[in-house]
Amino acid sequence: MLSIERNPKNQVYLELIDLCFDVCDEFHLVVRTDMGSIQGLEEIISKLKASLIEMRCESTWASTTLGDDQTANVYYFHADENAKKIIRLIAKSLYQWEMPNLPEDLSFFKQGRVWLATSSHEEQCFIYPDNDTEVSRIKSIEGLRIQELED
């Protein structure tokens, strides 16, 4: 497991996003209905509609577990070229994916398993590469500060 030690911004963010879309087949974004107005967030979800798989009301997602019977709208998308273009344009850093301005906790999945899990408000991100090739590709992103952690 790898931990991202500094918010990937600008070119580092773009290269990380490109890698995620190359390796993974799905991603999610979260809209917390318990955090005030979601107006404006619907427009972002609408831009991604062509890639939408489904929306689920869930209390647990890649990086978070809510308590006290709370739920959020978790939107699952295909990691396709349409979505990649939009994700690259909307934000300039990984932890920018945070409410109220954007849906939060952009996270990626590979064959149904979490590959990259982000908790934007905590400024935490963990990557779970499957093999040495993926680790090498992650480490090749110039400016991406990562730390290897015990699984």
Task: Please give the Cα distance from 53 to 55 (Å, whole number).
Answer: 7
> Is 49 a residue whose pLDDT tops 70?
yes
Amino acid letter for position 115: W
Q: Where are the domains of the chain?
A: 2-148
Say what the pLDDT of residue 118 is.
97
Terminal-to-terminal C-alpha distance of the chain? 6
Say what the pLDDT of residue 19 is.
98
Q: List pLDDT tens digits, range 33-48.
A: 877 667 778 889 999 9
CB within 8 Å of 29: residues ≥ 6 apart: 44, 45, 48, 74, 75, 77, 97, 103, 104, 105, 106
Mean pLDDT of 10-15: 98
CA contacts within 13 A on the Cβ side of 51: 23
Per-residue tokens: 91: 């934000």
Angle 68-69-75 from CA coordinates, rounded to 5° = 125
Of 126, 128, 98, 146, nearest to 24 by C-alpha is 128
Q: Over the range 105-122, which residues count as b (16 or more CB within 10 Å of their CB) and which as e?
A: bbbbbbeeebbbbbbbbe
Mean pLDDT of 98-123: 96
Mean pLDDT of 71-95: 97
Q: List pLDDT tens digits, range 132-150.
A: 999 999 999 999 999 999 8
